[in-house]
Chains A and B, each alone.
Chain A
Amino acid sequence: MGAPAALKEDCEALLSRFQEMDSVRFEDFTELWRSMKFGTIFCGRMRNLEKNTFTKEALTSAWRYFLPPYTFQIRVGALYLLYGLYNMQLCQPKQKIRVSLKDWDEILKFQQDLINAQHFDAAYIFRKLRLDRAFHFTAMPKLVCYLKELSYRMKKKMQRAEITEEFKDPNDRVLKLITSDVLEEMMNVHDHYQRMKRVISADKSNPEKSLNLIKDDFFDNIKDIVLEHQQWHKDRKNPPLKLKVKGGEEKSERNSQHSERCERAESLAKIKSKAFSVVVQASKSRRHRQVKVDFSDSESGQVQTKTTRKRRNKETLKPAGRKVSSRDRGDMQKIHMEDKSLSLSMPVVTEEEEENESFSETEFTAPKRRRKQRTKS
């Protein structure tokens, strides 16, 4: 294991333990630091050149965690870590921390946030690092060279920095779009609008009927939907135990949520089960492929044994693969695959989205094949 990988592990160990402490105080950090004896990371009879390279590498590794998209706590932990590494290093003169131009504004903002939130110890430490002139102000965070030393390859393997997932806030686009500020704003605008309507209409208590251009409960609906979404997010991250049970129960659990897709899937599944409850008897030579009716699952009434199910999935996978993956919603996926495949064999395709329609052309051969297999016996 090389030094950079080992350093990454050690930094992450320290930072994750700091994250568990759920505090941003320097005292807590130093306790952790001392208990892990992190300062001894420079020990071990390194000669000068190695000391320089190692220290540079250590500072670079710690620096990564100081920038977004890591969470606030991790960033404060990284600041403390940089402070510790910078001051405990054995190089003389000290190796500096590289800051690039594009990151500096972000860091100053961070410093301001710290001061505003009255995290004085973190702010003090950053100020101290700056006073000690621990920074090198550079163009890019790392030394950049198109042609690497000792190896010449036009297309380099791009090493994308892997961001540790646990240190990040989950990326929630919906919540980013509809933040609490936006909701508040919406509510204000809505109220204002209603008031204006009342003011200009003749009857002061009720606005004119002709001005009813929006749904009155529009704002409440949005709020409910967003809250639901938040709840779903939370449940997804830490699924409650009962959701982990496989099979139909899980499906019924999901079905109980207000999801239109679930309801539709359910109804389709019912139709499926009706259609396939009658099964042709396979001949002796095809005994292993006997289709059995499986009534254990509530939703799909999946009528195949495992083998046939796999085969069916494989067949539909080629044309279906593209579309299905775009609707990746965990267990919903299976239902959808069945939906598509089975919806084609059934003439009933009422509330089909246009995706499925275009689909049906490409897949048309598939059900024919399946039918053939079944009737071959």
Chain B
Amino acid sequence: MAEDSRGDPACGGMDGRQDPVPSSGGFTFPEYELPELNTHAFHVAAFGELWRGRLRGEGDLSLEEPPAPALPGDRRGTDSGCEDAAVARDLGCSLETAAELRAVCGLDKLKCLEEGEDPEVIPENTDLVTLGVRKKLLKHREETLTIDRACRQETFAYEMESHAIGKKPENSADMVEEGELILSVNIFYPVIFNKHKEHKPYQTMLVLGSQKLTELRDSICCVSDLQIGGELSNTPDQAPENISKDLYKSAFFYFEGTFYNDKRYPECRDLSRTIIEWSESHDRGYGKFQTAKMEDFTFSDLYIKVGFPYLYCHQGDCEHVVVITDIRLVHHDDCLDKTLYPLLIKKHWLWTRKCFVCKMFTARWVTNNDSFAPQDPCFFCDVCFRMLHYDAEGNKLGEFLAYPYVDPGTFN
């Protein structure tokens, strides 16, 4: 395996900007650093170029629909002839052999079911262990379930995975290019170590190599972005205009020793400065950290380790672990509309908290120290909240503290 030096020609186009310096000694072939866990750091664009170099001119990269395989009964004379000629040329055999190959290796040779046999029914006398296992499972389902159909979560998960497959853009300028890289990014729940013992992937997104880091940052939906600050028991109708997302715009990504700060707006502050100062104050053994601007870099410019946890921090202290789980070349069956990326393909289903009174609507208010409420804190939907706490004129009844509540399940 070639271990190229860091001076890769592919990343030469970054002059004039701050170069992120990788901490490890450049591999270009992704190799496991810890087996099955993560790879060494490598340059994304260089990796893409290695693949493209190997596949150029072979038709593997094309995003056109491949020609439909000729059915055995289809007598398209000239087409088969052309095909045979191509086969003979590629394999170095004769035309007769090519024709013979077409017949011998046809798909009809693989058919195991007779005509009229239902592909859904497991055949009776089968040796396959897999089918035995599945039969048992089906039997168990038949015995225990009254209605055997997909639950909401399963439908939701499947829809998320496949809703964008094969989508083509209306505007051809929005078409994804051939040889584009697609990265799968897992974003985890914000971690509160005292409370959570597990890291759960919260959402999985697909991003294109050519997209900027800021585009991913904008598309991550975290409930802390929607929080509305302020105690509003006295002024329930005055909904503040600003959600946290608009008020606190700073954020950063941390990849391989470099903090990429969002500096698009003047209000954005460098959140990573605290960390860098802390690390430099004493010899903590972390090496030198660098900073860079998030909006100047695309995913192709990065040095990353596949499978290794990195960080996304926003709202000052809301931290999400970010793991890039996969990088691959785009395929004609993928979603080919650039505008739909970053594309959400997997999301953790969250049960929404319902109003304590009506148990039907999602909670929009949470109260503390509430004399009317049976528990502290207590959740109410808008209607029930007003009916319970305010009289017909809108005067506050009793003592309580009320805050607007945004349920994490809002994104379902």
Contact = CB atoms under 8 A, between A and B. Distances in A.
Interface of A: 1-3, 6-7, 9-10, 13, 26-27, 30, 33-34, 36-49, 52, 83-84, 87-88, 90, 93-94, 96, 98, 100-102, 104-105, 108, 115, 118, 120-121, 123-125, 127-128, 130-133, 135-140, 142-147, 149-152, 156, 158-160
Contacts of A42: 119
A6 B109 contact: no
Contact of B131 (A40, A88, A118): A40
Contact of B60 (A13, A135, A140, A159): A135
Interface centre among B60, B91, B120, B133 (most CB of A within 10 A): B91
Given A137-B329, A144-B36, A40 B91 contact: no
A41 B130 contact: yes
B104 to A, nearest CB: 6
Contact of A124 (B59, B87, B161, B197): B87
Interface string B151-175: 0001001100110011000000000
Contact of B30 (A52, A130, A140): A140
B306 A147 contact: no
A110 B125 CA distance: 37
A48 B110 contact: no
Given A49-B154, A127-B90, A145-B323, 18 more contacts: A6-B130, A6-B133, A26-B109, A27-B104, A40-B128, A41-B128, A43-B121, A44-B134, A84-B110, A93-B166, A98-B328, A100-B30, A101-B50, A115-B91, A139-B47, A140-B30, A144-B307, A147-B323
B200 A131 contact: no
A52 B161 contact: yes
A47 B109 CA distance: 27
B326 A88 contact: no
Contacts of B1: 102
Contacts of B122: 40, 43-44
A47 B157 CA distance: 12
Nearest to A47: B150
A88 B110 contact: yes
A158 B87 CA distance: 44
Interface in B16-49: 29-32, 34-39, 47
A36 B127 CA distance: 7
B119 A90 contact: yes
Nearest to B308: A146
Contacts of A30: 109-110
A32 to B, nearest CB: 11
Given A41-B130, A84-B110, A101-B47, A150 B323 contact: no
Contacts of A144: 36-39, 306-307, 325-326
A26 B104 contact: yes
Nearest to B200: A150
B32 A124 contact: no
B12 interface: no
B278 interface: no
Contacts of A108: 54
B158 A48 contact: yes
A152 B197 contact: yes
A40 B123 contact: yes
Nearest to B179: A137
A102 B1 CA distance: 7
A312 B110 CA distance: 63
A140 B29 contact: no
B242 interface: no
B101 interface: yes
B145 interface: no
A150 B328 contact: no
6 contacts: A2-B133, A37-B123, A43-B123, A49-B157, A132-B66, A139-B306
Contact of A145 (B47, B132, B134, B325): B325
Nearest to A5: B129
- For the complex of A and B, list the 7 residue pairs with the smallest distance between their C-beta atoms, beginning with the closest: A144-B307, A39-B112, A138-B328, A139-B30, A6-B129, A139-B327, A6-B130
B333 A93 contact: yes
A43 B130 CA distance: 10
B317 interface: no
Contacts of A137: 51, 55, 60, 328-329
Contacts of B186: 145
A205 B154 CA distance: 88
Contacts of A147: 188, 199, 201, 309, 321, 323
B92 interface: yes
Contacts of B32: 140
Contacts of A84: 110
A328 B370 CA distance: 78
B326 A43 contact: no
A40 B90 CA distance: 33
Interface centre among A36, A39, A43, A47 (most CB of B within 10 A): A43
A146 B37 contact: yes
B283 to A, nearest CB: 24
Contact of A133 (B31, B66, B109, B133): B66
